[in-house]
Structure 1
Amino acid sequence: MTRTYLSKSFKTLSILAFLFMGQSCKDLLDEKIVSSINDDYISTAPGFNSATNAAYSSLRNFYGTERGISMTEYGTDLYSAGADGSFKGFHFYDSQLIGTVSIIQEVWEELYKGINTCNAVIERAPEVTGLTDAVKAQRVAEVKFLRAHYYFILLQEFGGVDLRLTETILPTKTTKRATEAEMYSAIIKDLEESLPGLENKAKSSEYGRATKAAAENLLVKVYLAKATSSVKAADDYAKAETYAKNVINNYGFKLLPDFASVFAQGAGEINDEVIFSVQYTTDPLTNISDPTTNGNGNNLHLIFGMQYDVQAGMVRDIFYGRPFKRLKPTPYALETVFKDRVNDSRYKKTFRDTWLCNTAGGTFTNVFDNSKKSVTFKPGDTTIFIPGVEWTLAQRAAKPYQVLVPSLYNLSLFPTLVKFMDPNRIDRTYEPGSRDFLVFRLADTYLMLAEAQVKLGKTADAVTSINMVRRRAAFAGKEAAMEITAANATMDFVMEERGRELLGEQTRWLDLKRWGILVDRVKKYNTDAAANIKETHNLRPIPQTQIDRSDKGTDGSSVFPQNPGY
């Protein structure tokens, strides 16, 4: 299997792709072409392949980025606001969450650029020369998967949007909002039509391309969401179950024996559990010279870290990361979701609990642990330990290091998620990360299957699906203790299990919305947002730029209305 980095830029398409929404009308007319590639290039074999590859690049705007994490993990039952951050409206659901927020516009525009590139590939495929029909059919299938993927993100975040299924070349202000029914119909049609043309195996021969397994996995997510939407159908859960079983049974995917190894950086990212990932590169020149190929890298290593680097005996380094302190786990996440630390290895393998002295050492008086007035370290000594439970003052005083217990957690000091840490960065301040973002992995598929089975009343089958994930998560010798029985196979249990398995993986806000419990869970478990959140917040505000650049009706208002409540 060859790992091919799907990154070649196709700048002409990038410009054409968003003329209809990306600038003001005056700016549109003044747009300067930055590439000498003419519009016919896509009809050649190299151009067609480059355009297909370019369609993947919009994934890097959403997955593994602060934009994507803000719209999927902020303001949930599992994560609240840390000390820093520019987009706290997503945490607090307050007046900061409006249609002029930069990342809302950026995600919207980038996804539409990707959609229009997909449209161009689909429409122009018949005229392409120098490629076999089989290759053209595969490329069209890939971009149908991508177009469905992009519209599904937009639908979940914003509701019905402008459903464009043909290439937009010239500037236009003619837009309209599709219905939820139209959105789901188009998304499902694209995915079902993509299946015959995609490679029918676990990993593409050019790693990173969409496969039939990836499309079927996305269909699981789509049908689970549709099942709780205004256009739900009686067979949505059955279809989700069928597609999940296909992914699990037909391609040779396997859960890795160790939960932590799923997130091993480098060659470990291409493993038997990964169904679809977004690729990033270690090449710093790519990040700087052509951001369309690598975006700003996978920068989630920045988001979850606590402020270890100003503590006694510590300085910032590459291994422990550059801590942006954006996300702090809620007490519900730590005390309920990750309550079992005896049988379940996921608390230990999800959070960092130990920091070692990375300075010349010495005696320090800048302590947060109120059981001691100073600490003395030499290089390599433990400086900070997080036991995850409360210790008495005497227990802490007996240790030569600082003990960070739950009563001392604050907006800067808290358990740090390690799934996305990136010690391969070139220096301690470097922001773009190189690890792939795992969009779909098998444990998620098992839990989605369990969800469908619970909803279908197939309790015994749901137990089997959940136990596949829980046995893998067990400490050695604790597998039997991790297994659940039929009494536990409930939606409440599935919700918690998804929290344990998928914490931080850009799923939680979408899950809570799908289950119809976003407002209830945030009110119960997230003190940051409890006072502000309301049903309005099951959708994000439409970017104001989109509203302003659409046609006006006879009453002078935009034909593209804002979501209610914003």
Structure 2
Amino acid sequence: MKSNKYIYGFCLFAAAVFSSCSKDFLTLYPEGNLNEGVFYKSDADYQQALAGAYTSLRDIANNAFWMDEMRSDNATYDYYAKDRGNAARENISTFLDEATNGVTQVRYQAAYTGINRINALLDHLAANTTMSDSLKNQITGEAKALRGHYYFDLVRNFGGVPLYLHETLGYGDAFLPRATADEVYGQVISDLKDAGNLLAPSSFADGQTGRMNKGVVLTELAAVYMQRKDYASALPLLQDVTKMGYTLLTSFGSIFDPANELASKNKEVIFDVQYQSGTTGQSSAFIYRFIPNMPSTKVLLGVSFNVNGYGGWNVPTGNLMAIFEPGDARFDASVGVVEGTIDDKQDFVPTKVVSAVNYTAPAGVTAKYFCKKFYFPPYPNTNQNTDQNWTLYRYGDVLLMLADCLNETGAPGDALPYLNQVRIRAFGNTNHNITVTGQAGLRTAIALERRRELAFENKRWQDLIRTGQAIPVMTAYGVTAKQTYPYMLPQSFTVTQDRLLYPIPQHEIELNSKLTQNSGY
């Protein structure tokens, strides 16, 4: 852990307005110098502290695609030879990352910042005798759901980590040894169960997709059980989620359109990380990360910005693009092509965006593929400042999780309707429905469908780990990648059991002598 000064001094008093069910709930406003002596007096103080606990979701989402998607065979990077300052990010993709990697450190610290804010809130809330039971239950439920979420993020990425369950008040509180992975998972399950007993399902009021509710909790608890291969425990939770009013949008691409982010317009999104353009520091910039490196984004985004060295991430691999079948609308919604030329400075100068469906580059044209799932131009005339939320759980994912659980618990026939719901949406008809009923064959079909449906949504790497396919799949992919991309080092893609976890950040080990490093780092 970082020092007591870091995890406590920055943590509790991000003041946010909780007055309506909109993005305003997560909007932070400076309130001067606040401390525990003057805070936690009114109900609004507790609501503001709860809002502050949500902000770590953004810090994690801003970095997660490097660790969750680009670690897999779904995505690679647009190599930029003129600026090698991004090697640390590239190394995550090629399994050359080390304990000093800044991306993994940011994620680790962000989760603990959120956890310490929640612990302080819960400790103060326990002593409150004036708040109504209904409000106390709501705040407690959301706080415990968030703490469970942050520890789930930590344990599946770093293994056993220190378990902080109360406010950090002194030196002795700040430095704990690592708990076992089983102990952390036990706390995650306990927190999510408690939250599920306190929270109501979503009302689908605008803004609700950014807040914890019973639907979110049951979905995430099912994901936890599935990660532990306890499919029987996950199954009834997912069945309950199907009864809560969520539904698939008719158009796959519209799921991610910022114009559809209000809960009243999008009943597919169960939980997302909320962003807001403007001057509050809560905007997102995912599309700037995902388009190819280029000296000006004007042609693509409608606003000019030099993304050389900033963009070029989450580039679709040929391996991913090859699995989409003709007529699958998800391909065109997920993968795009930028046509252009290379100028005398060796910069890529784009001319237009075209569909990747049946695409072949014309003679004399340089074509670069990019993640199109988050591309909805035109953009505000303010660089790196968009409203694009990041979806963590949606109903299409739940349907495939449910199909997976039914298949793994011996009911492959019952799994087919849930699997085929997402295929009917993808193709617009029933002509492409899966009919295989054998457990092994259906297991393969579900994994393939998850890859198509959830490409670039940070699911693939953990799916490979959960199904025991990470080492063979990524080893085979690495052989092809090194043959395709000559800039990749020979030692890239040495995928071992140790590499299924990321290292504990070296900075944390230097601060806390009780921490030990994961094997292989």
Please report the TM-score for the alignment, with normalisation by the length of structure 1.
0.77
SS in 1 for 2:517: coil
1:417 aligned to 337, 348, 371, which one? 371
Among residues 92, 95, 101, which one is paired with 1:93 in the alignment?
95
Q: Which residue of 2 aligns with 1:215?
A: 217
TM-fit CA distance, 1:432: 3.4
Q: Is the 8 A contact 1:219 1:240 kept in 2?
A: yes
Deviation, structure 1 residue 38: 4.0
Structure 1, residues 154-174: CA drift from partner, whole Å, max 9, x if none?
001000000111111223453
What residue identity is the alignment partner of 1:560?
A: L
User: Does the aligned pair in 2 maintain the 1:387–1:403 contact within 8 Å?
Assistant: no
What residue in structure 1 maps to residue 388 of structure 2?
Answer: 435
2:231 maps to which of 234, 237, 240: 237
Per the alignment, in what secondary structure is the counterpart of residue 332 of structure 1?
A: helix
Match of 2:432 in 1: 482
Work out which of the two has the higher radius of gyration on C-alpha atoms and give 1 or 2. Answer: 1
* Counterpart amino acid of residue 435 in structure 1: Q
Query: Aligned equivalents of 1:210 and 1:310: distance in 2?
Result: 39
Residues 148, 188 of structure 2: 8 Å contact kept: yes
- What is residue 37 of structure 2 aligned with on the other side? 39
Distance 2:300 2:207 in 1: 38
One-letter amino acid of the structure 2 residue matched with residue 304 of structure 1: F
Measured in 1, the distance between the counterparts of 2:303 and 2:391 equals: 21
The separation in 2 between residues aligned to 1:473 and 1:389, in whole angstroms, is: 17
Give the secondary structure class of the aligned counterpart of 1:88.
Answer: helix
**Displacement after TM superposition at 1:302 (Å):** 2.0
What aligned pairs does 1:97-116 form with structure 2 within 5 A after superposition? 97-116=97-116
- Mapped to 1, the partners of 2:303 and 2:476 lie a distance apart of 36
| Percent of aligned pairs with the same amino acid | 27
> Which moves more between the two structures, 134-143 or 177-186?
177-186
Q: Deviations over 1:519-559 (max 9, x none)?
A: 21111224258642222110001011221122xxxxxxx43
For normalisation by structure 2, the TM-score amounts to 0.83
Q: Deviations over 1:250-269 (max 9, x none)?
A: x1111011111111213445
Distance in structure 2 (CA, Å) of the matches to 1:204 and 1:174 = 41
Amino acid in structure 1 at the alignment position of 2:316: P
Counting matched residue pairs gives 473
- The aligned counterpart of 2:258 is 265
State the match for 1:346 in structure 2. 330
User: How far did 1:298 drift?
Assistant: 2.4
Q: Distance in 1 between matches of 2:415 and 2:315?
A: 31
Structural mapping, 1:125-274, within 5 Å: 125-128=125-128, 131-172=131-172, 174-203=175-204, 207=208, 208-227=210-229, 236-249=230-243, 251-270=244-263, 271-274=266-269
Q: Deviations over 1:393-430 (max 9, x none)?
A: 9xx46xxxx666xxxxxxxx4322222125364337x1
* Separation in structure 2 between the aligned mates of residue 423 and residue 452 of structure 1, nearest angstrom: 38
- Give the letter aligned to residue 82 of structure 1: D
Alignment of structure 1 residues 466-505 onto 2, 5 Å: 466-474=419-427, 476=428, 479-487=429-437, 490-505=442-457
What is the CA–CA distance in structure 2 between the aligned matches of 1:532 and 1:446, rounded to whole Å? 34
**How far 1:193 moved relative to its partner?**
0.6
Partners of 1:365 and 1:154 in 2: CA distance: 42
Q: Distance in 1 between matches of 2:353 and 2:389?
A: 29
Cα deviation, 1:173-230, whole Å, max 9, x if unaligned, reads 5311111221111111101111121123353676232110000000111000011xxx
Q: In the alignment, is the contact (CA less than 8 A) between 1:385 and 1:403 conserved in 2?
A: no
Of 1-10 and 509-518, the range deviating more from structure 2: 1-10
Q: Distance in 2 between matches of 1:334 and 1:320?
A: 29
Say whether the 8 Å CA contact 1:6–1:53 is kept in structure 2: yes
Q: In structure 1, which of residues 524, 549, 557 is the aligned counterpart of residue 511 of structure 2?
A: 549
Following superposition of structure 1 onto structure 2, how do residues 356-435 of structure 1 map, counting pairs within 5 Å? 383=352, 385=354, 387-389=356-358, 396=362, 413-423=367-377, 425-427=379-381, 430-435=383-388
1:7–1:57 CA contact under 8 A, matched in 2: yes
1:329 to 301, 309, 316: 316
Aligned match of 1:302: 288
2:520 alignment counterpart: 565
Answer whether contact 2:299 2:352 (CA < 8 A) is retained. no
SS at match of 1:484: coil
Question: 1:51 — aligned with what?
Answer: 49
SS at 2:315's partner residue? strand
AA matched with 2:496: K
> RMSD across aligned C-alpha pairs, in angstroms?
3.0
Name the residue aligned to 2:10. none
**1:70 aligned onto 2:23:** no
Matched, 1:447 2:400: yes
Match of 1:507 in 2: 459
Q: Identify the residue that residue 282 of structure 1 maps to in structure 2.
A: 277
Q: Which residue of 1 aligns with 2:488?
A: none
Q: Aligned to 1:415, what secondary structure does the other structure show? A: strand
Give the deviation of 1:273 after TM superposition: 0.5
